[in-house]
């Protein structure tokens, strides 16, 4: 692996020295010598003084990541082994848990290596690569994982553009081949997981605390609407928590069989639940026409989505999404408002909630808020990494 000395602009020295792990394009004095993804970069200031070591890997976020601030530390197999094993140690409670067998083992820059995440599904590890640059270190990461606890097999997801199209294989890397669906547990909920079937495996692990909360505190005897429901994980949590009925709405055709499957692996009769393959915005119209209302409405849209009739951007349209939800929520009902959009923070998100209730003429009470769970480790120096914002808010009359 080549090491290239790269000068950081004066304007960016302070931020990087303060611990920011992201290497922004604008921080680099001269990007011309960056010719090969995966190059190891020795970062220096205008005096040539060492600041850190990182790698070149282009993502939408930037041009790479700082990996070490210790001049004597090389970026070699031992570096990857050390960071990964440290991350595993930090998840000891998860590895020891009997009722949770799926969680994040390594969370990118939060665990010291931006551009790479590793998830664990009952003995199967899944590496997700966010740039061609980090992918160049693949063999060292694989070596580190093959000695990881309870290792059965290894899979990978590539989240970067590869020039030219080639048939995506089943993402298998090494060890045992899984049999899918793989059944995992999360705080006693069960999920059917497919590691061999595209980028999404069946559940988003970052919502574990919210699912638990919905099941334990917000579902008993309630009528629940789950919008942008994907495989219905929130509906499963609500049904297990004693919801009278759940309605799951997602426009993807696959969401119907996938949701039936998640209910089934939890021993829930899916016939007693409603699963609608439908545009959420159409569903709101339908619900108003039929005068339907709900005790709990869950909103978990993607940051950006385009359907036939609608373009949704969390940044621009979350307030109006909330307004639609408020209109079909019972008085004293709750809305679980979630977003993974990293272009705004919790304060602004609460602002959207405030605006929506004001526009609809209702008061509200924020019951609780959530950000990423402990296994999705983040660092203070990079608040953008803590993208998840969930607010449980009660609609109050008048």
In DSSP terms, 227 is beta-bridged to 249, 299
Determine contact, residues 182/124, Cβ cutoff 8 Å: yes
Nearest to 174 by CA among 197, 198, 148: 148
Q: Residue with structure tokens 């089934």?
A: 264
- The two structure tokens encoding residue 45: 């200031």
CA separation for the pair 221, 269 (Å, rounded) = 16
Beta strand extents in 130-230 (DSSP E only): 153-158, 172-175, 182-186, 189-193, 223-227
When the beta carbons of 233 and 372 are compared against ligand SAH, the nearer one is 233
Nearest distance, CB of residue 185 and ligand SAH, angstroms:
16
When the beta carbons of 68 and 235 are compared against ligand SAH, the nearer one is 235
Other beta carbons within 10 Å of 125: 28
Q: Are strands 172-175 and 153-158 parallel, antiparallel or unpaired?
A: antiparallel
Nearest distance, CB of residue 312 and ligand SAH, angstroms:
6
Nearest distance, CB of residue 252 and ligand SAH, angstroms:
4
When the beta carbons of 135 and 281 are compared against ligand SAH, the nearer one is 281
- How would you class 385 by CB atoms within 10 Å of its CB: exposed for 0-12, middle for 13-18, buried for 19 or more? buried
When the beta carbons of 68 and 231 are compared against ligand SAH, the nearer one is 231
Nearest distance, CB of residue 217 and ligand SAH, angstroms:
17
Nearest distance, CB of residue 125 and ligand SAH, angstroms:
21
Determine contact, residues 56/67, Cβ cutoff 8 Å: no
Nearest distance, CB of residue 256 and ligand SAH, angstroms:
11
Q: Residue with structure tokens 């690569």?
A: 129
Sheet strand arrangement including 50-56: 3-7, 40-44, 50-56, 64-68, 22-23
- Alpha-carbon Rg of the chain, whole angstroms? 23
When the beta carbons of 132 and 250 are compared against ligand SAH, the nearer one is 250
Nearest distance, CB of residue 336 and ligand SAH, angstroms:
10
When the beta carbons of 50 and 304 are compared against ligand SAH, the nearer one is 304
Nearest distance, CB of residue 199 and ligand SAH, angstroms:
11
When the beta carbons of 134 and 337 are compared against ligand SAH, the nearer one is 337
When the beta carbons of 307 and 363 are compared against ligand SAH, the nearer one is 307
When the beta carbons of 116 and 298 are compared against ligand SAH, the nearer one is 298
Helix (H) or strand (E) holding 68: strand 64-68
Q: Which residues here bind ligand SAH, judged by CB under 6 A?
A: 204, 207, 228-231, 233-234, 249-252, 255, 279-281, 300, 302, 305, 307, 310, 312
Beta strand extents in 290-362 (DSSP E only): 294-299, 304-306, 311-313, 329-339
Nearest distance, CB of residue 229 and ligand SAH, angstroms:
6
- How would you class 109 by CB atoms within 10 Å of its CB: exposed for 0-12, middle for 13-18, buried for 19 or more? buried
Half-sphere exposure of 127 (CA within 13 A, CB side): 27
């Amino acid at each position: 692996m080549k090491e290239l000395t790269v000068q950081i602009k004066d304007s960016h020295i302070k931020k990087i020295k303060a611990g920011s792990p992201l290497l922004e394009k604008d921080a680099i004095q001269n990007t011309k010598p960056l010719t090969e993804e995966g190059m190891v970069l020795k970062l220096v200031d205008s005096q040539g003084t060492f600041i850190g070591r990182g790698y070149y890997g282009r993502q939408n976020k930037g041009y790479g990541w700082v990996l070490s601030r210790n001049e004597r530390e090389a970026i070699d197999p031992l570096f990857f082994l050390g960071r990964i094993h440290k991350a595993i140690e930090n998840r000891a409670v998860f590895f020891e848990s009997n009722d949770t067998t799926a969680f994040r083992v390594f969370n990118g820059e939060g665990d010291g290596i931006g551009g790479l995440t590793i998830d664990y599904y009952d003995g199967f590890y899944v590496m997700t690569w966010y740039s061609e640059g980090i992918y160049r270190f693949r063999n060292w990461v694989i070596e580190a994982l093959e000695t990881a606890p309870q290792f059965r097999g290894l899979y990978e997801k590539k989240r970067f553009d590869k020039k030219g199209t080639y048939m995506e294989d089943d993402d298998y890397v090494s060890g045992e081949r899984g049999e899918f669906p793989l059944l995992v547990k999360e705080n006693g909920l069960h999920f059917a997981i497919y590691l061999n079937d595209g980028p999404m495996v069946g559940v988003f692990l970052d919502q574990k605390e919210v699912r638990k909360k919905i099941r334990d505190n917000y579902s008993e005897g309630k009528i629940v609407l789950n919008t942008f429901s994907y495989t219905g994980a929130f509906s499963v949590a609500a049904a297990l928590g004693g919801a009278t009925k759940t309605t799951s709405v997602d426009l993807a055709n696959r969401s119907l069989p996938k949701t039936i499957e998640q209910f089934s692996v939890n021993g829930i009769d899916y016939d007693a639940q409603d699963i609608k393959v439908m545009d959420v915005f159409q569903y709101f119209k339908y619900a108003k026409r039929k005068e339907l209302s709900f005790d709990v409405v869950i909103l978990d849209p993607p940051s950006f989505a385009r359907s036939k009739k609608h373009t949704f951007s969390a940044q621009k349209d979350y307030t109006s999404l909330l307004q639609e939800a408020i209109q079909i929520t019972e008085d004293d009902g709750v809305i679980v408002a979630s977003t993974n959009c990293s272009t705004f923070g919790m304060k602004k998100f609460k602002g959207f909630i405030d605006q929506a209730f004001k526009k609809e003429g209702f008061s509200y009470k924020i019951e609780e808020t959530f950000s990423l769970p402990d296994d999705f480790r983040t660092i203070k120096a990079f608040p953008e990494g803590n993208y998840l914002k969930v607010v449980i808010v009660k609609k109050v009359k008048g």
